[in-house]
Chain A
């Protein structure tokens, strides 16, 4: 099994629908992150969590919410999806040190029509 698992891998949803993207990890890392990737903009941080009770907004949190259900699970919700939320979404984990980068999931490609 992958260290960081994202579900679903692909999703098409309609404008106005609520959708949840799920992420689970087996790395035992405290820190988890949600990024979105748009062409020409790189990866931008949506939300991050340093432990179950510590959740923080990233640079583009509007329109999103998150839930850290357990150390291993971090879900991203779009309460009312809109077309400009069409993007590739990545979940990632890290330990507390700086030495290592992140462990990324395989991504969720979300299309809002």
Chain B
């Protein structure tokens, strides 16, 4: 079965704190892609990152970083020095060949960054 779990429903931090959003996935496929999307209060879905199953290198983009660990089936997202504009719902998602390429989403984590 294909599944994505984001156990943290809501997280609240104060501006400038670091915060990590957890994502755990399940798949039997050896080839798959993992994604993170951001949904700001305006509602649209904003693509943040894509990572394929053969590339376990961590990624850093400005204040954002991602830690992909196949051994624990996790793809965690860290925001360093959070800002109020980071307040949003964040979704982790999985796409694999076994699932005919459909994108499976986690439940989402609502991040609130307080000034």
Contacts and interface: CB of A to CB of B under 8 A. Distances in A.
Interface of A: 31, 33, 35, 40-45, 48, 50, 58, 88, 90, 92, 94, 96-102, 104, 106-107, 109
Interface of B: 4, 6, 9, 31-33, 35, 37, 43-45, 47, 50, 52, 91, 93, 95-97, 100-103, 105-108
Given A98-B97, A99-B50, A40 B107 contact: yes
Contacts of A98: 31-33, 95-97, 101
B105 A101 contact: no
Given A98-B31, A98-B97, A106 B106 contact: no
B103 A102 contact: yes
A42 B52 contact: no
Contacts of A106: 43-44
